[in-house]
Amino acid sequence: MNTLLQITTAYAQPKLKSMPLREQPAYRVTQNATACNLTELMAAVVGGAKQIEIAQELMAHFNNDIRRLYQAHPAELAKVKGINQATAVRIKAALNLGLRLSLPAEERPSINSPADAAALVQSEMALLEKEHMRVLLLDRRNRVLDNIEVYQGSVSSSQVRVGEVFQPAVGRMASAIVVCHNHPSGAPRSM
C-alpha cells in the first residue's frame, strides 16, 4: 500500500503586502523622510517585495549601527540573505550620498589652509577602521579637482610609495596636492 506524504512548506507573505500604503517605507520616505527610522530608510533603498524583512535582517546584522554599516564592504553587505551585489552597491551609494550632506555647499571647495583640508575629509575618514592615505588634487586656484585614496594600510600604519602619491596628480595635471591620512585610534595627531 502506497502512502502519499504531503509536505507543506510554510509560506510567509511579505510584510510589505499586508501593510497599508501609508505605512509602507517608500510612502513614508516620500511624506517625511526625517521621521523614518533606519530600517524604513534602508527598506526603501533595498526595494522589492521583501524589503522590510531584508532591511530588518541587515540592520540586525550590524546591530543597528549606521557607522558599522557605512564601514562595511559591499561583499560583507551581500552576506545578508536577500542582498545581492547590486543592492549592496546601492546601499553603499546611499550612505555616501548622506555623508556628502556634511560637505560644504559649493561644488568644488577651495583649500587655503590645513584646516580646510581637514574639514573636507575628516567626517568620512574619522569613520575608517584602518589607516588610509588620500590625495586631494587641486587646480591653480586651490579648488579640489578630486579626492583619491592612494593607499589603505593596517590598523596602525600606512606605507606608500612616493609614485603612488604623485601619479594621480600627474595624470590629472593638478597644480597642487594635499596628502591626508587618518588615525583609526581617534587621536587627531596630524589630519
In a domain, 9, yes or no: no
Question: What was the pLDDT predicted at 113?
Answer: 95
What pLDDT is stored for residue 105 in this prediction? 57
Task: Read off the pLDDT of residues 144-183 as tens digits, 9 standing for 90 and up.
Answer: 999 998 888 776 666 778 888 899 899 889 999 999 988 8
Mean pLDDT by 10 residues, the chain (191 residues): 46 82 93 92 95 96 93 94 96 89 73 94 87 92 92 75 88 93 67 42
Please report whether residue 2 resides in a domain.
no
Boundary (domain end) residue, out of 100, 122, 140: 100
pLDDT for 117: 95
Confirm whether 173 is domain-assigned: yes
Domain encompassing residue 149: 114-181
pLDDT at 112 (0 to 100): 95
**Domain final position from 100, 129, 156:** 100
3-state secondary structure the chain: CCCCCCCCCCCCCCHHHHCCHHHCHHHHHHHHHHHCCHHHHHHHHHCCCCHHHHHHHHHHHCCCCHHHHHHCCHHHHCCCCCCCHHHHHHHHHHHHHHHHCCCCCCCCCECCCHHHHHHHHHHHHCCCCCCEEEEEEECCCCEEEEEEEEEECCCCCCCCCHHHHHHHHHHCCCCEEEEEECCCCCCCCCC
pTM score: 0.55
Q: According to the model, what pLDDT value does residue 8 have?
A: 42
State how far the alpha carbon of 153 is from the alpha carbons of 34, 132, 135, 150, in Å. Answer: 36, 6, 15, 10
**What CATH number has the domain bearing residue 131?**
3.40.140.10
